[in-house]
Amino acid sequence: MSEFSTVLTESRKFPPPPGFAEKAHLKSMDDYRRLCAEADANPDAYWAARAKEELFWQTPFSTVCEWKPPFAKWFLGGRTNLSYNALDRHLATQGDKVAIRFEGEPGDRRDVTYRELHAEVCRLANGLRALGVKPGDRVGIYLPLIPEAAVAMLACARIGATHSVVFGGFSAEALRDRMNDAKAKVLITSDGGWRKGHVVPLLDNVRASIAHGIPSMEKVIVAHRTGATPPALQPNEVAWSELVASEPASCEPEWVDSEHPLFILYTSGSTGTPKGVLHTTGGYGVWTSLTTRWVFDLKPDDVYWCTADVGWVTGHSYVVYGPLMNGATVVLYEGAPTTPGPDRFWELIARHQVTIFYTAPTAIRAFMRLGEEHPKRHDLTSLRLLGTVGEPINPEAWMWYRETIGGGRCPIVDTWWQTETGGILISPLPGVTTTKPGSATLPLPGIHPAILDKDHHEVRQGAGKLFLLKPWPSMLRTIWGNELRFRAGYFAEHPKYYFTGDGARRDADGYFWIIGRVDDVVNVAGHRLGTAEVESALVSHPRVAEAAVVGRPDSLKGTALVAFVTMKAGVETSKALEAELAAHVTKEIGAIARPDEIRFAAGLPKTRSGKIMRRLLRDVAAGTDSKGDTSTLEDLSVLAALRNDEE
Ligand code: WTA
């Protein structure tokens, strides 16, 4: 924890660099305060103005917001289409501008202009319609980070189909569960993708998941990415190239209602299986478009690179929708940061003259360990702005990012948000905010975060749970097919305030410092996981009796996963068994969920009512002493045994 505890005493301050503010979209604290005051004085007028500035509305909206806690609707009566906003709007003025500058892991390159992207999206949209995909139907996307991923998402948006992207690192089992929950009709995949010099067998995974049963699935569309020749297909599969071969390069967008479901993205919760976060069209479009410009200060000649995969929300909002709606040139890199060498990212930045770079703290810490000689070998002077997202950034990594990557001249935007929030809510504005290493600083204008104590009193200065007191346009609308879980997950603590699941601290300047999750969700190397998911993967192994998974602070990954496992009677524990269990989790969920450490235990500490005492396990995992009250422990000897293992 020592690395993180410095957060609380951090006193360095960095005002926007000279010259940056003058050219920025938002230039001063006055700009910021004016917008906040506008939003406070008349929220409807404020949001209506933002919505009209950001999007083309085919039919204007009549009501700005309807808030019946926990349900929000935004820009009611309006009709729009985000594919139109991301593509068609730019054709007249900048059709030949590069929209996607792609680089594959093996080094292949492809520039896709706005005109070409529009054509590809239209062809696929027509192809999907030809397959019978209707507005509101769900379409799964399981692709590597290649231009086709953006094409697939926008093609769905174009015809009003609701996409559900599943990260290519998830296993066949995880894919099946998500497709079944969404009841997807079509799945768009590829033969494979490149990762660390190997091919990830996406199509094999798709076939395995369908073999295990996805009753709703009618057709699989297969792009050709990795093999020397296109893969031989089965009757339920169609080659992407064949599907679009005779389709025209234009396609009338489906003008959908502002509240039409745009996508379902599965994310981890504190209990049970991953939940399908539902985002709708208008509000999500307005906020992702606006925040991309405000937070990244995007300008027409920027080369923007967000390293996230489209399988996560960051890839949805800040690789695809936000930047493309702003007409940016987006760099897309398929592979691993260290393939073929430890300087791959820096070499890409220098060669593509990247100006805005957005990545996760875990990546920054990994680069720090690799040594500064790697970035130093490359000319990184094209960079003018740096961003981070996904987990708290420790001041040491923040300073390294600033000095070694940003040359001391680039503002850093530490952006706090979640899958559920759709877009960035707390972040510096680079021309406005004086930053402090490790703080996400202040809410964006119109956003009302607050730290509340146990009695729901606001903590103006100090620590507590982080809530959002008012709705915002890109908030999740529900959990797909599970309203109860939506209520229980976010509005159980307070019926009108959205609970984030995060703990935070606010300092004397009103700055927010995100401490981390206070529920059983963990951020492992920037990937969000539920400990319950990993537990259920472990107990699905035939020889496991019980499992408890907790996070332990880790200087590289932020949090590492420690699994306490009790085996069924008579099972001998061994190193080989440990490896077998780890492999089992990889098969059930994916390599990102593989425990960093598996500890066999004779029993798990429980309360009298039979609940596993996770707080104690967290302390045992971290090697710290618990000051907690253990009087409800059913079996103190179990705890003692775990402690002894520790010594
Ligand atoms: C954490 C990722 C500290 C937080 C966009 C949140 C952060 C969870 C930050 C959401 C940040 C995200 N500082 N913590 N700047 N950004 N988090 O849904 O715990 O994958 O609740 O969305 O990541 O993760 P998710």
**Buried/exposed code over 621-637 (b: 16+ C-beta within 10 A; e: otherwise):** bbeeebeeeeeebbeee
418 C-alpha vs ligand 1 centroid, how far in Å? 5
169 C-alpha vs ligand 1 centroid, how far in Å? 19
Retrieve residue 376's tokens. Answer: 């130093």
Span between the terminal Cα atoms of the chain, in Å: 19
Q: Is the pLDDT of residue 358 over 80?
A: yes
What pLDDT, on the 0 to 100 scale, is given for residue 7? 47
How much of the chain exceeds pLDDT 90, in percent?
89
Q: Average of pLDDT values for 604-618?
A: 84
518 C-alpha vs ligand 1 centroid, how far in Å? 12
Please report which residue ranges of 212-298 form alpha helices under DSSP H: 240-244, 281-296
Retrieve residue 455's tokens. Answer: 């009695």
Q: Average of pLDDT values for 94-100?
A: 98
The number of residues in the chain equals 647
Among candidates 395, 163, 126, 360, which has minimal Cα distance to 251? Answer: 126
Q: 558 forms bridges with which residues in the sheet?
A: 524, 554
For the Cβ of 314 lying below 6 angstroms from any atom of ligand 1, the answer is yes
Residue 638 pLDDT level (bands cut at 50, 70, 90): low
Q: Is the pLDDT of residue 366 over 70?
A: yes
Contact indicator for 546, 491 with CB cutoff of 8 Å? no
Among candidates 497, 427, 445, which has minimal Cα distance to 466? Answer: 497
Among candidates 81, 63, 58, which has minimal Cα distance to 155? Answer: 81
Residue of 263, 291, 416, 506 to test ligand 1 pocket, by largest number of atoms within 8 Å of CB: 416
Q: What secondary structure letter does DSSP report for 42?
A: -
What pLDDT, on the 0 to 100 scale, is given for residue 3? 36
Q: Is the pLDDT of residue 635 over 60?
A: no
For the Cβ of 433 lying below 6 angstroms from any atom of ligand 1, the answer is no
314 C-alpha vs ligand 1 centroid, how far in Å? 10
438 C-alpha vs ligand 1 centroid, how far in Å? 13
Q: What is the pLDDT of residues 494-516, one digit of tens each?
A: 999 999 999 999 999 999 999 99
Instruction: Please name the residue whose Cα sits nearest to atom 14 of ligand 1.
Output: 391
Residue 612 pLDDT level (bands cut at 50, 70, 90): confident
Q: What is the pLDDT of residues 377-420, one digit of tens each?
A: 999 999 999 999 999 999 999 999 999 999 999 999 999 999 99
What pLDDT, on the 0 to 100 scale, is given for residue 614? 86
More confident residue, 606 or 539: 539
What pLDDT, on the 0 to 100 scale, is given for residue 101? 98
Residue 156 pLDDT level (bands cut at 50, 70, 90): very high
CA distances in angstroms from 478 to 188, 472, 485, 545, listed in the order given:
25, 14, 8, 34
For the Cβ of 440 lying below 6 angstroms from any atom of ligand 1, the answer is yes
How much of the chain exceeds pLDDT 70, in percent?
95
> Crossing angle for the helix pair 202-211 and 172-182, nearest 10 degrees?
60
Residue 632 pLDDT level (bands cut at 50, 70, 90): very low
Ligand 1: atom nearest CA of 419 is: 18
Q: What is the pLDDT of residues 56-72, one digit of tens each?
A: 999 999 999 999 999 99
Q: Average of pLDDT values for 176-195?
A: 98
For the Cβ of 311 lying below 6 angstroms from any atom of ligand 1, the answer is no
For the Cβ of 280 lying below 6 angstroms from any atom of ligand 1, the answer is no
Instruction: Please name the residue whose Cα sits nearest to atom 25 of ligand 1.
Output: 418
Half-sphere exposure of 502 (CA within 13 A, CB side): 27
What pLDDT, on the 0 to 100 scale, is given for residue 645? 46
For the Cβ of 528 lying below 6 angstroms from any atom of ligand 1, the answer is yes
Q: What is the pLDDT of residues 320-349, one digit of tens each?
A: 999 999 999 999 999 999 999 999 999 999
What pLDDT, on the 0 to 100 scale, is given for residue 18? 85
- As a whole number of Å, the CA-based R_g of the chain is 24
Cα 338 to Cα 343: distance, rounded to the nearest angstrom: 7
pTM exceeds 0.85 for this model: yes
Q: 391 — phi, psi (to 5°)?
A: -165, 165
The one-letter amino acid code at 4 reads F
Question: Which H or E element spans position 102?
Answer: strand 98-103
State the virtual CA torsion across 346, 351, 354, 360 in degrees, nearest 10: -30
Among candidates 270, 259, 268, 280, which has minimal Cα distance to 422? Answer: 280
Q: What secondary structure letter does DSSP report for 499?
A: E
CA distances in angstroms from 469 to 70, 306, 455, 472, 497, listed in the order given:
11, 29, 15, 10, 5
- For the ranges 23-27, 448-452, 584-588, 598-602, the lowest mean pLDDT is seen at 598-602
What pLDDT, on the 0 to 100 scale, is given for residue 611? 83
Instruction: Please name the residue whose Cα sits nearest to atom 24 of ligand 1.
Output: 418
Instruction: Please name the residue whose Cα sits nearest to atom 22 of ligand 1.
Output: 418
Instruction: Please name the residue whose Cα sits nearest to atom 6 of ligand 1.
Output: 418
Q: Is the pLDDT of residue 639 over 70?
A: no
Cβ atoms within 10 Å, residue 518: 16
Retrieve residue 190's tokens. Answer: 């590829």
Peptide bond into 135 cis (omega under 30): no
Three-state SS at 485: helix
Average pLDDT along the chain: 94
Residue 272 pLDDT level (bands cut at 50, 70, 90): confident
What pLDDT, on the 0 to 100 scale, is given for residue 373? 97
